[in-house]
Amino acid sequence: MGRRNKSGHLLKSSVLSFVIAAVAALLALSPAAIASDVVYPGFGTLAQVVDGGGTYTIITLVNLDNVTIPYTLSFFADSGGALSLSTSAGTNSVLSGTIPVGGSTIIRTNGAGPAISQGYAVVTSASNGCYGYGQGDGNCQIGGNAVFGITLNGQTLETTTPLDTGAAYSFAIPFDSTTSNTGIAIANSLGDNAIQYAGAQAASLTFKFFDQSGVNFYTSSMQLANGQHTAFLLASQFPQLAGQTGIMVVSSADASKNPYYIKALGLRLNLAGTTYTSIAPLVPCNWYPGYGCQQF
């Protein structure tokens, strides 16, 4: 493993249906477990990108190194295949450029078209002059985030996810199905292939739900093939959560039961469809294999 990170009126039914569909499309997997306030060199994943159907994504990349750095931004669809998007930097599934020292670049999708396209993005950056990770392997320190926009009730609402440059295989997300529609996006990111214990493969996902007393009242599982991305509302995927509040713990393993790194992001839309925000996954330090907790 080469890296780690730290850790009201109801809408009419037709409008609510659109909201739910739009939010499901906006969900995505972001730092596999937590906001990337520590940036590790080389590569990272934006757990969700969306465009069209009233949605858009604004990506900001920042040079945190001491030399001009190159970057490559690759978009992937839910299937893991290339996702071509029309953006301010051109129309393609792969975009590239350079960022000067202390500089940044902003890439915005144009939001055109009636249908929503969704997936995730992988950012890579390497140059001989960069700080690198460990003993100067040339990986560059590049940070950033993605802002997602959606139009609801005539207003544009936005939320964000950071560029996740870390590694985590288990995380918790709070939910309250009595006041909101909570969703999650998860990516078995192609950007994490190089750091998997036993190589890239399907992620075996386990979902455990605990009420506010800590009782595990429901457990479920699913498979997510390498490179694939999924996003869904908890109420749709797990109707057993109706009327419940608590936390969802998601863990990922490979076929040999080794920890398997994924990216994730939670999103929350209130039942009136008037507020929309992201939920940062939570990762206790002792959930990181081989590291444990350290006092800094």
**CA–CA separation, 36 and 33 (whole Å):** 9
CA 88 to chain centre: 22
CA torsion angle for 267, 18, 177, 264 (degrees, to 10)?
-20
Range in 72-76, 135-139, 144-148, 175-179 the model is least confident about: 135-139
Q: Which residues have a Cβ under 8 Å from the Cβ of 213 and sit 6 or more positions away?
A: none
pLDDT at 10: 31
Question: Hey, where are the domains in the chain?
Answer: 13-287
Range in 6-20, 42-56, 272-286 the model is least confident about: 6-20
What the block records as the tokens of 233 is 């509302």
Q: Is the pLDDT of residue 149 over 70?
A: yes
For residues 83 and 274, the model is more confident at: 83
For residues 14 and 99, the model is more confident at: 99
State the CB neighbour count (10 A cutoff) for residue 85.
Answer: 24
pLDDT at 12: 34
pLDDT at 31: 35
pLDDT at 88: 96
Q: What is the pLDDT of residues 64-105, one digit of tens each?
A: 999 999 999 999 999 999 999 999 999 999 999 999 999 999
**CA–CA separation, 265 and 19 (whole Å):** 18
pLDDT at 56: 95
> pLDDT confidence of 137, banded at 50, 70, 90?
low
pLDDT at 131: 79
